[in-house]
A and B are shown apart, each in its own frame.
Chain A
Amino acid sequence: MIRALMLSAAALIAWSAAAQDIAITNAKLVIGDGSAPIEGGTVIVRGGKVVAAGARIAVPAGVETVDAEGRYVTPGIVAAFSRVGLTEVDAVSGSNDRSAPRTRFSAGLDIAPALNPMGSPIAVNRAAGVTRAIVAPGGSSNLFAGQGAVVDLGDDMAMVTRPRALEYVAFGEDGAAKAGGSRAATFLLFREQLLAARSYARNPAALAEWGNDAMIQRADADALVRVIDGTTPLFVRVDRAADILNVLGLKRDFPALKLVLVGATEGWLVAPQIAAAKVPVLVSPLTDLPGSFERLGATQSNAGRMTTAGIDVSVGVFDDDDAHKMGYATQYAGNLVGLTRIPGASGLSWDQAFAAISSAPARAVGMGDRIGSLKPGRAGDVVIWDDDPLELGSRPTAVWIDGKRQSLTTRQDRLRDRYADPVEGSLPNAYDW
């Protein structure tokens, strides 16, 4: 066992090398855009990016070739809405940077400095095939939670792919609690903060008069200006059908808002309106219980029904664990495929389901041309799986991020190996490492 670990440590060093040019051949190739898998496909990654993928692709001379032996080869999973990197152990407050409930800042918070690329959740999620994540802050003391980022889960210190990639705000019950106890207060506070930001944009000198008791601080105003003009997508947690319609209505006052709905548990009840507004939706798709009065219509058919209505639906993992178990994305997507066999239910085809955990979330955050599929020009985030990636228990056998081969060893693997034989031998277990 010790020898195996030494080998993996050596391999780790090798994998930390720069991006390789690589061709993966003989693949059951999943592009991730909703198209069907291509048997005998090839994907070529050069300079950290996909340059070609499909059938009958010639491998350029001098490019290292990996034979996938007919296995599934896919883009890495994109965690659609998560807190991965913001927390190690949730109940250990010092290791948990999800939320900042005692700050006087809100929209201006930027989670980038809170991310820990060396945290063990990064490796565990990476070993499950997750290569990128949309990470949102949990909350502040004010209505807006702050700015999230798009990150990679690579085995290096450069984690942020796009900082300030989104602003996050919760409406519904959580938003009402933040705003003073009523949804009426949420909508007014939202509007007033955006108007304040707009007036600041027109006359920055006015800021001096705001003082520390102001509704928002300068940094918040800076962030909200970019929300108002649509530079930063606004991710909105909202679940009740009526709340969804009211959130879509925010565009009447602020027409450039780039809305993304998060949760949308009752989205299927107002699917035509969401589709007409061309607003993408991120769902945690197996939420099917009326956990609160804003989720009475919860059903696992939500994702399928909204997709049928023409909504761009992404599948994420956030109504349960949103930091440690991003690998559930494949299981959840698989469940949606299973639903297609149940009379009265609505699910997704396999191809749609895989796109919902790869290209769809990339598109929702405005990075569909950068990540989330194996189309030319996208990041070289590639996974070879030991079996159907949406099946339970399938695991990656190899992962590349930006064309760099990644370690798939986790702290959990180390514990497992140490206790493969739990009874002490000639020395205590602590000497087995």
Chain B
Amino acid sequence: MRGSLLAATLLAVTGCAAADGAPQTASDTPAAAPEKKPDRSITDPYPSTYHAYPSTPTAVRGVTVFDGEGGRIEQGTVLLADGKVERVGGPDLAIPEGYRVIDGTGKYLTPGVIDVHSHLGDYPTPSVAAHDDGNEATSPTTPEVWVEHSVWPQDPGFTRALANGGITTLQILPGSANLIGGRSVVLKNVPARTVQGMKFPGAPYGLKMACGENPKRVYGAKGRMPSTRMGNFAVDRATWAKAAAYKKKLDSGKAVDRDLAMETLAGVLSGDILVHNHCYRADEMALVIDMSHEFGYKVTAFHHAVEAYKIPDLLKKEGICAAMWADWWGFKMEAYDAVPENIALVNRAGACTIVHSDDENQIQRLNQEAAKALAAGRRMGMRISDEQAWTWLAINPAKALGIAERTGSLKPGKMADAVLWNDNPFSAYTRPEKVWIDGALMFDALDRKRRPVSDFELGQPGEGDVK
């Protein structure tokens, strides 16, 4: 087994990303041999070994469906087969012979929740110093690090996110100590022995960037640049200038020495790697946008975006997602102007709206965070439907991760990543009853053995507890 795993990791699979970041090739079929030499920035020497677990053709009927793209069906019937969403319809949709039929009366079926901002695995629990693997805080720019080399698959947080939060896909990011923190990784929330066993096949890489207080505080304290916001930008710009020169050489076909940092940044400049930029303040987001224009890259999403409500028009115009908390505020200066209506105001402006966690606890109830944001918007007089709000947890984060063609909504042909909730998921009283990932039942609240227990928790007090 070890041998075959090794063999698999030696097979560099070329991911081929469309302009919008969505992969054009299916996950399990390697891309056709490219004609030109593959761009090193998008080769994957640590390829996914994830595979869908066996599934039973399943029909959920009589259920309220939020399809994840803003659609809603009452008394819905949803068929899951061969790991895919097969059909979605109303009470008249015929259920083929041989399907496991689940009565969803009074329950809700949604696409699996997607969290675009998690540190499960790189800041796992127990949060002991030996596990601090999220910030390579020895240089303000470390595009050469890949967070998948830090992720500990045995983090019990993955199992909580599945069972309590219905999380089926999540992006693990490096921390925000650095201006350029390194590559992210997108995972299927399926327990595995290796991080490769969790990697979302074919998902584009992301690049974590950070502006504001953290980088200047961390490096200012070390007596080095950056110690100010202008220093943040100077270091960023110098790095992008170098990356642009590297990419120019690369594109001209000249031989270049491998430079792991520059490979990643060249991948950003060519649009293959998506920028996820931690940024709180509106004025800073606007400056980052100009910097992206200066060097010809695109910011896919601003994360935290506490002041997104001050510039929703700009985010909409630039096609940048804002990934936000419902109500975090006051923990630092750049989080002082948070408002509970932030998410709803971004949604109202028509910009891509995402609810994220950045937290091992709130990832267990992102549905509740969305519910609070939804309620705040409604109190302000906005008319937002429940099913529209579910896009904040489904198709929108899928778009930001470049996987919207494959997951993020209950549409025929997409991955059967779904959650059956025991009531309306915008209620505090509601919990996931069942969670499917690629059609496989990975959690069932009614079957105690369908609750994963990480190696770390095996043989410990409370092993297998409901948690």
Contacts and interface: CB of A to CB of B under 8 A. Distances in A.
Given A299-B467, A393-B376, A419-B345, A334 B429 contact: yes
A141 interface: no
Nearest to B360: A289
A331 interface: yes
Contact of A269 (B339, B430, B461): B461
Given A266-B461, A341-B422, A288 B331 contact: no
Contacts of B429: 334, 337-338, 341, 391
A121 interface: yes
Contacts of A323: 330
A87 B336 CA distance: 12
A269 to B, nearest CB: 6
Interface in B374-400: 374-376, 378-380
B466 A334 contact: no
A352 to B, nearest CB: 14
Interface string B123-134: 001111000000
Contacts of A325: 327-329
Contacts of A314: none
A392 B375 contact: yes
B332 interface: yes
B165 to A, nearest CB: 11
B330 A416 contact: no
Interface in B332-363: 332-333, 335-341, 345, 359-361
Interface residues of A, number: 58
A92 B332 CA distance: 7
A338 B430 contact: yes
A89 interface: yes
Contacts of B371: 392-393
B404 to A, nearest CB: 27
A118 interface: no
B128 A288 contact: no
Given A334-B429, A391-B427, A344 B466 contact: yes
Contact of A320 (B340, B361, B374): B361
Contacts of A124: 329
B462 A296 contact: yes
A300 B467 CA distance: 6
B6 interface: no
B250 interface: no
Interface stretch (B71-79, B309-317, B405-413): B309-317
A342 B431 contact: yes
Contact of B462 (A121, A298, A412): A298
Contact of B331 (A269, A296, A324): A324
A391 B456 CA distance: 34
Given A392-B372, A392-B427, A412-B340, A290 B156 contact: yes
Q: A interface, by DSSP: helix, strand, loop or mixed?
A: loop
Contacts of B309: 416, 419, 422
Interface in B444-467: 445-446, 448, 456-457, 460-462, 465-467
A325 B457 CA distance: 30
B330 A88 contact: yes
B183 interface: no
Contacts of B380: 416, 420
Contacts of A99: none
Contacts of B379: 393, 395
Interface string A297-311: 111110000000000
A64 B337 CA distance: 38
Given A391-B428, A393-B374, A91 B332 contact: yes
A325 B430 CA distance: 22
A292 B124 CA distance: 10
Interface in A404-433: 412-413, 415-416, 419-420, 422-423
B278 to A, nearest CB: 15
B44 interface: no
A334 B424 CA distance: 14
Contact of B125 (A90, A291, A335, A337): A291
Contacts of B127: 291-292
Contacts of A394: 375
21 contacts: A89-B335, A91-B331, A269-B461, A290-B156, A290-B457, A292-B128, A297-B462, A299-B466, A301-B465, A320-B359, A331-B368, A337-B429, A390-B428, A391-B428, A392-B368, A392-B372, A392-B426, A412-B338, A413-B339, A416-B380, A422-B309
Interface of A: 87-92, 120-121, 124, 241, 266, 269, 286-293, 295-301, 319-321, 323-325, 331, 334-335, 337-339, 341-345, 390-395, 412-413, 415-416, 419-420, 422-423
The 9 closest A-B pairs by CB, nearest first: A393-B375, A334-B428, A297-B461, A91-B332, A392-B371, A338-B429, A345-B466, A297-B462, A324-B330
